[in-house]
Structure 1
């Protein structure tokens, strides 16, 4: 109630079980749109969508990873109810899906797509150091959630089919859009399930995760491997990750402050329409959050808010009923333009895309 009062306007607090459609139904039925920002477990995501479908109210969320499958499974119910739902419209998935759609239009054939988010750590490490080195439950839980997606068998789309691989065991070096490279490992996200539906002939899709500075990534991989081997729980591995950094911050993050923040990006390889040759393009959106430490949730919230605004103001009035990933129903460049006020420091003129082309040979 206090938070609702602080927000002001039409905001009000209400009590409900987010995983129980019956509990949510009375709240949802009196509104024009459901914006689901919950996470953590599949029932919290799927239950809210089920309630929105029953109430015949449009819906959007930031779901990714293992949460996508139970949402896509509600497609028939959404169509029958005449409800349009846009799922996974955060930064990654979300912005990276739309970047893939944008880039694919310039390729004769698309062979591989890699999406990646690069996580900064100073917004955790600074408060921990200020508290005398005590790792709080909140910081550990967030890192544990990232480790969850990168440990064990991770879903990927390989050779034209959905499969799973040993995540910590496959580190690759990806080209960053603004120059430089980052070492990243597979991370369970929904693009591997959805992008092949929208881009014909696509052979491989892998979602990846990394930390900044890049020297943290061997530590990240080691902790993910410990979880996969049963040597540590996610919570234990997360605490070990943070405690290692806190024990020697000069070694791990001394140069991180002021380091240019890497926004979620997409790397695509295929045959270029322009040249007829194989090429690789790494691309992302310009960001207003250029340096560490980053605001919590700065990338996830903006695309979700933009989609919600466009659904409410009629811009997306022609959305077909069903449960849709962003690339199935959103036009990338108009969406990027609307997003720019929340994401970038100034209105994006033209594409607002930071891009790097690498000849693939």
Structure 2
């Protein structure tokens, strides 16, 4: 598979355009809530010659490119359920940026590997990494999970891994401050994270050589995020980093991911879970058989309160603990970003996902990613160039190193 033990050297710090040919990028779902921020960033910061927004909602895509007003932009009608369409379209591009809901991660990844085109997405499914050897044979790269978490958190973890001689544990926390239902796919994601019967709940955190189950709202910790969010209780979440980091760092003892949403969303999800309303067991409503989960999802999407939110922001904290030169060391990383008043309400959340996705695409096109195959961000993405690009957009990564040792010999 892949390992950070090998390391990477000699990578340039600036994204440079390849001058030998026209470079084209395809943004799947490029007019959606998340990926439109990636599209905007590609226009503002990249040297791609063509940026194609591929979306099922053609009207939204046309409105977006009209709003941006860049001649490199064009629209393509795209149905993500049409795998043959992917096989026909993807070879026309240098990089495929997948901003679609996570259920499309595997088919998009598979199509990229089949036609040998580099790509990346904002989340990941474990079966994607089964495509690693095929991608390796094609000499191409696909990076699952280049958003905020997974994504920025993985690269933060890599920074700590590179500093330490031995890594013992990595603890990741996030605070996704958005409304409950900004988009259908994100509502599904929220409900998934609180559904007790989800299969992914059987592998929630990694400790002592194996993955362990944990129910929703368990493993509570208080974590201080940047000032827009402050201190929040976070809970175990089945997240991509828990699956990739133990494989990338052989011998690591523990990897955890905990997260939260705004307090009003956490209260609602707790009540729904306690009331059995997130169950996948069938129930009869109005003579029709549906699951409680499906009924609640439809109701939540319909009510305007699900679109309301007082603070839009994204908080990330990563702790990497281990040893360096015989001393116990704790490396802590956290992000900060401009407030919603500066970034434009919901964009203060979505930019934290879309911008890393755009940067990853630019790094792939510029040849800054040396790793081949289907590889996670902590293996594929060099830390300093990535952090430099985030900083250009106003997203800061802060580092604190704490060391402890015993002074004097005990006879």
Paired residues of 2:279 and 2:293 also in contact (CA < 8 A): no
Q: Normalising by structure 1, what TM-score?
A: 0.75
Identify the match of residue 160 of structure 1 among 176, 187, 209.
209
1:95 aligns with 2:152: yes
Task: Give the aligned partner of residue 220 of structure 2.
Answer: 171
Aligned-pair CA distance for 1:200: 3.4
Report how many aligned residue pairs link the two structures.
323
Q: Could you tell which deviates more after superposition, 179-188 or 293-302?
A: 179-188
Q: Is the 8 A contact 1:20 1:48 kept in 2?
A: no
Equivalent residue number for residue 121 of structure 2: 61
1:148 matched residue in structure 2: 192
Instruction: Tell me which residue corresponds to 2:132.
Output: 75
Quote the Cα distance in structure 2 between the aligned partners of 1:230 and 1:54: 34
Deviation at residue 30 of structure 1 after TM alignment = 1.1
Q: Distance in 2 between matches of 1:113 and 1:188?
A: 15
- Report if the CA contact (8 A) 1:267-1:282 is conserved: yes
Determine whether 1:353 maps to 2:410.
no
Instruction: From 155, 174, 180, give the equivalent of 1:117.
Output: 174
Contact 2:141–2:374, Cα closer than 8 Å, also in 1: yes
Instruction: Give the Cα–Cα distance (whole angstroms) in 1 for the partners of residues 405 and 186 of structure 2.
Output: 36
In structure 2, the CA distance between the partners of 1:341 and 1:289, relative to structure 1 (3 Å rule), is farther
Contact 1:115 1:266 in 2 (8 A): yes
- Structure 1 residue 194: deviation in Å? 0.6
Partner SS state of residue 73, structure 2 = coil
- Does the 8 A contact of 1:151 with 1:227 survive in 2? no
**1:87-236 map, 5 Å:** 87-121=144-178, 124=179, 142-152=186-196, 154=201, 155=203, 156-176=205-225, 181-213=231-263, 217-225=266-274, 226-227=276-277, 232-233=292-293, 236=296
Q: What is the CA-CA distance between 1:105 and the residue it aligns to?
A: 2.9
Give the RMSD, CA atoms, in angstroms.
3.6
CA distance in 1, matches of 2:217, 2:297: 13
**Do the aligned partners of residues 218 and 104 (structure 1) sit closer, same or farther apart at CA in structure 2, a change above 3 Å counting?**
farther
The structure-2 alpha-carbon separation of the partners of 1:15 and 1:139, relative to structure 1 and needing over 3 Å to count, comes to: closer
Q: Provide the C-alpha distance between the structure 2 equivalents of 1:327 and 1:343, rounded to a whole number of angstroms.
A: 22
Alpha-carbon distance in structure 2 between the residues aligned to 1:157 and 1:360: 27
Structure 1 partner of 2:14: none
Please say if residues 61 and 89 of structure 1, whose CA atoms lie closer than 8 Å, have aligned partners that are also in contact.
yes
Task: Give the match for residue 18 of structure 1.
Answer: 80
- Contact 1:147 / 1:234 at 8 angstroms: preserved in 2? no
Deviations for 1:295-331, whole angstroms, at most 9, x for unmatched residues? 1522110111001111123333xx2331010111211
Q: Does 1:52 align with 2:112?
A: yes
Question: Distance between the aligned counterparts of 2:327 and 2:98, measured in 1?
Answer: 43
Displacement of 1:12 in angstroms is: 2.8
Shift, 1:143, TM fit = 3.5
Q: Tell me if structure 2 keeps the 8 A contact 1:176–1:282.
A: no
Aligned to 1:130: none
Equivalent pair of 2:155/2:381 in contact (CA under 8 Å): yes
Asked if structure 2 preserves the Cα contact closer than 8 Å seen for 1:177 and 1:265, the reply is no
Give 1:297's aligned residue. 350
Could you tell me which residue of structure 2 aligns to residue 265 of structure 1? 317
- Where in structure 1 are there 5+ consecutive unaligned residues? 126-136
Instruction: Call closer, same or farther: CA 1:86–1:142 in 2, change over 3 Å.
Output: closer
Residues 243-322 of structure 1: pairs in structure 2 closer than 5 A: 261-268=313-320, 270-273=321-324, 276-277=327-328, 279=330, 281-289=331-339, 293-295=345-347, 296-316=349-369, 319-322=370-373
User: Which stretches in structure 2 are left out of the alignment for 5+ residues?
Assistant: 1-57, 282-291, 407-411
